[in-house]
Chains A and B, each alone.
Chain A
């Protein structure tokens, strides 16, 4: 095998295909509006990627990824909102210079925890650290006590519900149910016009590939193998002397940070952040993206996210009153027929054929083991 630290040959091809698709094909074929929609879908791909590590490999099902998506998104949105709330932009308010929703809630001074968000450096650090530390706390509290499986999923769901209630309830500090709207500039650079959307799209794709590389690295490292071992037989790993809890916490934190980066990208690309991305329903939707794509496949999760969101948009445009049924049908069909998602279809049906085709053309491929064995699925 030509394995290196990041990928084997078939994965390399997969990543290159995805890169060509995202960097060349989509920008050339879509207008700016649709491209911006893809950018929005891709923000969920970060979450799906995190779920592949944490759920697919580590076997930890989190139904609360919206919390981390939200934390990242709100950190970014707070920075952007402060910049949009300059004194001259908010002259009409009773207290100029603070975000509009604070003014509506009779708050007359910027709360202390908002002040550091004037700094972009602090904001970027917060996007990574706040969700990371929060995940560390939840993870430590749960996994050290050996809470796992269904119980863990339920607790993450409760956290998502609590977070929504907190954000909606503290509307003077968070914008409440309306969220933070009307985000305009990043360091004076207007994020709303078309050319900015294109720049942001490529920036996001860049970040996504960086995250894919991290995920690939984890997967091919010893750590990835321990995660898989843990998923399959937790006790054996524990008896072999590994600290299962620490590995689980790590996987959970990585997933949280990926989700938070997605959230921050969302705030930038959509110009908007609201509690409707934090709660239980969006969190479960994010798990569905991963399930449709194939929870064992890093690339599958990204295609799954794109497919589900694309279906959502186009079905709702074509059948505004019936689209939810169509979407529901799609999920049921995928889960019933292809439990390993898109990646499963690829691995079980498409790739063996391609391999056979290549094998019949080239009688003896050099540096490549027998193709019928060359791990059929991108999944383990």
Chain B
């Protein structure tokens, strides 16, 4: 992102010192995990993973180059932060985490190749990685064939569940339903206009949203339009919005298209302060590119905002900024990526083993009280219980929390009645 230069300037020593400091509050967060007696390697690793008496190796697999690098950099940073913090408090089962980073290069087959390399050559105990659905779909058969463990951070379309994956982001119903309920109640919304990028995630999300609007909220979808990834011309759909005058614009446009979309919306005189817009695809990271002045007033439905006011987040945000620079912003997925190494550590300690089968079996019920989003717990279906939150974009590019569900929302990757 914008402060690439900043990061490079941190000397390794300074970074280490900062890391140590950053981890101090984390220790108080999780007292029971520290200073565990290290059990014998033969006992905790029966399947030949890269575990020694002092070290355990995990893989980080994201796009450091290519079009997705802008989105995935935050995830890489969060995962490295979590690993450093875990190491600073003694590691996992007495072993320091060493990571091998591979570049998926925004290319799905490369993701599959690198995942295979990490599992077969490097024998990593777990992989933190993938971002787009396409990369996950490419990696999934590899994970299942070679019995690896993937911690996947992005909110996604659902319709998937695997023994070999822990989904630390929200599946579609967790992200959408509570947000739609809220806006229908708060704004009395009855008519909705859907705009999305043309691939599986927006299409599935909109399918779920449409069923919910029509069957539960008894409202009406007055338009549904899709644009190719990377598209920058939204004038025709903006004209349709002006004609149909929907109560709510519901968008899942992704990546760079967002910049064009919100600028053109503003240029067309649609004032987001008066025209409610609910997006499930814009986080703080995207606003960096869109510009706060173009999107201020829009509502986003996420599970995490950088501005969340809770003790965990108040230690997490400064630690992140110390490691990666003052100007970095932390979006929903970045936070979900931060959960990956922690959940893995907690699961390993619960299972008392690095074996993938035991981790997969021990995962349900693992809870992470130190999560910046508050508290999360792994469900039997390997997704997370988490809250849904609605935030309103402000001029400075941050979100103001408007609404959050009272309880954790149950993950439901195969929602009945929404297929």
Query: Chain A: residues with CB nearer than 8 A to chain B?
Result: 31-33, 36-37, 40, 92, 94, 101, 104-106, 165, 168-169, 171, 176-179, 181-182, 184, 192, 270-272, 274, 276-277, 313, 316-317, 320-321, 323-324
Contact = CB atoms under 8 A, between A and B. Distances in A.
Nearest to B419: A94
A177 B414 contact: no
Given A178-B133, A270-B109, A321-B65, A33 B116 contact: yes
B147 interface: no
Interface in B86-138: 101-103, 105, 107-110, 112-114, 116-117, 120-121, 133-134, 137-138
A196 to B, nearest CB: 11
Contact of B108 (A182, A271, A276, A317): A276
Q: Chain A interface mostly helix, strand, loop or mixed?
A: helix
A176 B414 CA distance: 21
16 contacts: A40-B113, A104-B159, A104-B204, A105-B200, A106-B207, A178-B108, A181-B138, A182-B137, A192-B145, A274-B108, A276-B107, A316-B103, A317-B114, A320-B103, A321-B64, A323-B65
Interface in B186-219: 198-200, 203-204, 207
Contacts of A33: 116-117, 120-121
Interface of B: 64-65, 101-103, 105, 107-110, 112-114, 116-117, 120-121, 133-134, 137-138, 140-141, 145, 157, 159, 198-200, 203-204, 207, 228-229, 414, 419
Given A176-B199, A178-B199, A320 B108 contact: no
Given A274-B138, A320-B103, 20 more contacts: A31-B120, A31-B121, A33-B121, A36-B116, A37-B113, A104-B200, A165-B228, A168-B199, A171-B198, A176-B198, A178-B108, A272-B112, A274-B134, A276-B107, A276-B109, A277-B109, A316-B103, A317-B102, A317-B114, A321-B103
Contacts of B138: 178-179, 181, 272, 274
Contact of B102 (A101, A181, A192, A320): A320
B229 A168 contact: yes
B112 A178 contact: no
Contact of B203 (A40, A105, A270): A105
Q: Chain B interface mostly helix, strand, loop or mixed?
A: helix
Contacts of B419: 94
Nearest to A100: B159
Given A317-B102, A320-B103, A178 B113 contact: no
B140 to A, nearest CB: 7
Nearest to B61: A320
Contacts of A324: 65, 105
B14 to A, nearest CB: 20
Most buried by A among B109, B110, B120: B109
Contacts of A277: 109
Most buried by B among A106, A178, A182, A323: A178
Contacts of B102: 316-317, 320
A320 B64 contact: yes
A270 B112 contact: yes
Nearest to B107: A276
Nearest to A178: B134
A176 B200 contact: yes
A26 to B, nearest CB: 16
B199 A317 contact: no
B134 A179 contact: yes
Contacts of B107: 276
Contact of B137 (A168, A178, A313): A178
A184 B133 CA distance: 20
A181 B140 contact: yes
B132 to A, nearest CB: 8
Nearest to A101: B200
Given A176-B200, A276-B107, A317 B117 contact: yes
A5 B120 CA distance: 45
A40 B110 CA distance: 11
B171 to A, nearest CB: 13
B200 A271 contact: no
Contact of A272 (B105, B109, B157, B198): B109
Contacts of A104: 157, 159, 200, 203-204
A343 B145 CA distance: 40
Nearest to B133: A178
A177 B117 CA distance: 23
Contacts of A101: 200
A184 B145 CA distance: 10
Contacts of A316: 102-103, 105, 110, 114
Contacts of B145: 192
Contacts of B199: 168, 171, 176-178
B204 to A, nearest CB: 6
Nearest to B65: A324
